[in-house]
Structure 1
Amino acid sequence: MDSAAAGRAARALELLHSFTYFAPEVHSELGELGLKGSAMKYVASRVAPMGTVGPAVATATFYNFAPRLIGAALPAAWEIAAPSAVYAARVRGVDAAMTRWLGADVIASPEMVEAAELAATIARSIPGVDGRALYAGYADQPWPEAPHLVFWHALTLLREYRGDGHVAVLLGAGLTGLDALVTHTASGIGFTAEFVKANRGWTAEEWDGAESALREAGLLDRAGALTGDGFEVRELVEDLTDDLGVAPWAAAGEEVVERLLDLAVPWRDTIADGGPLPGGMFGPRFGDAR
């Protein structure tokens, strides 16, 4: 399996991991601990596997969030609940969310058992933690027992492994976290700008400043669209991200990956069509990567 095909597979399955950030069941479990507000819940629950880290570590590993948003969440969250308790609450919420949005019949099906085994096979083929700090935190967590949670955990490992590589590529390309968001939304294939500004904590002034700098660098035109050079940079970023993330998919092999996609893409579409996703999270059809 080549890196482009592996990248398409990763993008096709990502929603089955990321929808849980927005699921009411997850927010409810985190709220029971005393965490307040969607930003605190997101930041604390995602970084919890790394332990009691401060805002600088979370800002570095998340990369494209405004530091003020993360600083408002940490270390305040750890004064409310320990990271281990936060992560356990997240998993409980994921359990409830997957059961609700996919249905109890799917959760208990032989197909879910098979998908969990396939996803775990791919995730266990990740070669190591070198330079992958956020992935390493999740790799230290025990594997759950229930098949649907094995499935989710495997996709989470693959997502954070790929994400850590993506950050390395963005750094190499000279794009800050905000630059990365602006150029990504300008490409028209992912988050909308309105969603990102609200979700990542950047002000309109900061966004406009980044657009101005990117225009001066020749990556955006006057209308805020990518120039030819801008498209080349984004294409290079995505290609190198695929290259850095290909190892587990290639090790598992094309047959394993294709079977996993056959099983899981319909579940993804179920969530995309009726799940708890905020408006503007995606531009054109987000994950039809097959």
Structure 2
Amino acid sequence: MWSLFEPVHAVTYFAPDALAAFEEAALRGFWRGYFAGRSAPLGAVPAGPVIAAFYGFAPRMVTRALPDVWTRITPEAALAARLEGSRRVLLTVDGDLTEVASLLRAAAEAADLHGRVLGAANAMLPWPEDPAGVLWQAATVLREHRGDGHLAALLVEGLDGAECNVWRVALLDGAGREFYQPARGWTDEEWATAIDRLRGRGWLDAEGKATGRAREAYTSVERTTDALAATPWRALGETATARCAELLRPIAVQASALLRHPNPIGLQPLS
């Protein structure tokens, strides 16, 4: 289900119409729109809570954006811009959004919110009245709910933000460092010391490649993430979840075509 609802949410970061909505709201530059739009459900917070909630970003990357971005836009205006931009995108896809929006909303409303800071903040927002807006809002609640659980699983493994990124690249046999490292703001020195820490845990070999222990940890983290994300789908039920997936797939395929590949989210192209 993540592979189907995540592309619907992610149009807010990558689709031209969605990015244009942030620019129209006076947020020029990709990262201003990203940090304002994604953190706006928390209110006009300083950098600290966002460093905690965004986890994989280097703190300095967050502090460059926050709290300065709140001198350029209010959280309410950022919320309106991200919804309007995403709505514009989803209104261009083929398919009837009404039924799938209703099903995805039902799943989102069943999400357990204890310990889910971003999931809860988005779940507390008023629901749009149109199917495209409901669809995007539901996808957003579900992805932040799942993301909060994923961070909990990473914390249990004792990984910090830099280590998560180094580990991810190692699992890809070293591919993608030139992409992931700047996208999350870590310096070469921070990257190197994270390699040393992971090597000390037995997760990386002498060449910096992932060991069997690192791959076992990946399987464990993903299994825990899936388990923590299961509540909405158990509540929706097997039949309704299957129907939701059926209706969502063609929309997700169209949304995926508008995204950047590769992307820091880890989404693969859908077809």
TM-score (norm 1): 0.86
In structure 2, the partner of 1:75 is 67
One-letter code of the match for 2:126?
P
Q: 2:15 aligns with which of 23, 28, 31?
A: 23
One-letter code of the match for 1:147?
P
In structure 1, the partner of 2:34 is 42
In structure 2, the partner of 1:175 is 159
Question: Pairwise CA RMSD of aligned residues?
Answer: 2.1
In structure 2, the partner of 1:242 is 226
- Residues in 2 aligned to 1:148 and 1:98: alpha-carbon distance in whole angstroms: 6
Alignment of 1:2-21 (within 5 A): 9-21=1-13
One-letter code of the match for 1:277?
R
- Residues in 1 aligned to 2:267 and 2:228: alpha-carbon distance in whole angstroms: 25
- Residues in 2 aligned to 1:165 and 1:41: alpha-carbon distance in whole angstroms: 24
- Residues in 2 aligned to 1:120 and 1:271: alpha-carbon distance in whole angstroms: 18
In structure 1, the partner of 2:91 is 99
In structure 1, the partner of 2:104 is 119
SS of residue in 2 equivalent to 1:226: coil
- Residues in 2 aligned to 1:43 and 1:82: alpha-carbon distance in whole angstroms: 12
Shift in CA distance, 216/286, structure 1 to aligned 2, threshold 3 Å: farther
One-letter code of the match for 2:219?
E
One-letter code of the match for 1:113?
T
In structure 1, the partner of 2:260 is 277
- Residues in 1 aligned to 2:176 and 2:6: alpha-carbon distance in whole angstroms: 17
In structure 1, the partner of 2:117 is 133
Superposition deviation, residue 281 in structure 1: 4.6
Shift in CA distance, 97/142, structure 1 to aligned 2, threshold 3 Å: same
Percent identity over paired residues: 38
Q: State whether structure 2 residue 172 is matched by structure 1 residue 188.
A: yes
In structure 1, the partner of 2:80 is 88
Cα shift readout 1:236-269 (whole Å, capped 9, x = no counterpart): 1111111111111111111111111111122222
Query: Where in structure 2 are there 5+ consecutive unaligned residues?
Result: none
Q: State whether structure 2 residue 43 is matched by structure 1 residue 51.
A: yes
One-letter code of the match for 2:194?
A
Residues 47 and 58 of structure 1 are in contact (CA less than 8 Å); yes or no, is this contact kept in structure 2? yes
Residues 261 and 269 of structure 2 are in contact (CA less than 8 Å); yes or no, is this contact kept in structure 1? no
Superposition deviation, residue 144 in structure 1: 0.6
One-letter code of the match for 2:111?
I
Residues 262 and 268 of structure 2 are in contact (CA less than 8 Å); yes or no, is this contact kept in structure 1? no
TM-score (norm 2): 0.92
- Residues in 1 aligned to 2:138 and 2:62: alpha-carbon distance in whole angstroms: 26
Shift in CA distance, 248/99, structure 1 to aligned 2, threshold 3 Å: same
- Residues in 2 aligned to 1:10 and 1:280: alpha-carbon distance in whole angstroms: 15
Query: Where in structure 1 are there 5+ consecutive unaligned residues?
Result: 1-8
Shift in CA distance, 66/282, structure 1 to aligned 2, threshold 3 Å: closer
Q: How many residues align?
A: 270
Which structure exhibits the higher relative contact order, with contacts defined as CA atoms closer than 8 Å and separated by 6 or more residues? 1
Q: State whether structure 2 residue 143 is matched by structure 1 residue 159.
A: yes
- Residues in 2 aligned to 1:30 and 1:284: alpha-carbon distance in whole angstroms: 23
Superposition deviation, residue 204 in structure 1: 2.9
One-letter code of the match for 2:102?
E
